[in-house]
Amino acid sequence: DRGRVDLKQVLTYLGSQGILSVLLEGGSEVNAAFLEAGYVQKVIAFIAPKIIGGRYSPTPVAGHSPDKMAHAWQLHHLRIERFDDDVCFIGYIKP
């Protein structure tokens, strides 16, 4: 796509430099791109006890992500931790 980075090329370059792990802290489009390409192995997601949004609010994952539960990316080896009032889900994408 015009104006977008070739994820495979970036990850290949990082690997050639000895970088074997990347922390992705992106917006919904970046998150979707990495998930859709199959480049995500581990997910660490924080949920705060606050509700905000509306019909046009961005979601954590945009793009062509699954829109049905049957097609959702599933996490396994799930661990849940609490940080003050926030809840953190840590899990691995099922292959």
pLDDT at 1: 58
pTM of the predicted protein model: 0.83
Q: CA triplet 43, 45, 47: central angle to 5 degrees?
A: 165
pLDDT band at residue 38 under the 50/70/90 scheme: very high
Q: Within the chain, where are the H helices? A: 7-16, 28-37
Residue 23 has pLDDT above 80, yes or no: yes
Residue 15 has pLDDT above 80, yes or no: yes
pLDDT at 64: 79
pLDDT at 81: 97
Residue 86 has pLDDT above 90, yes or no: yes
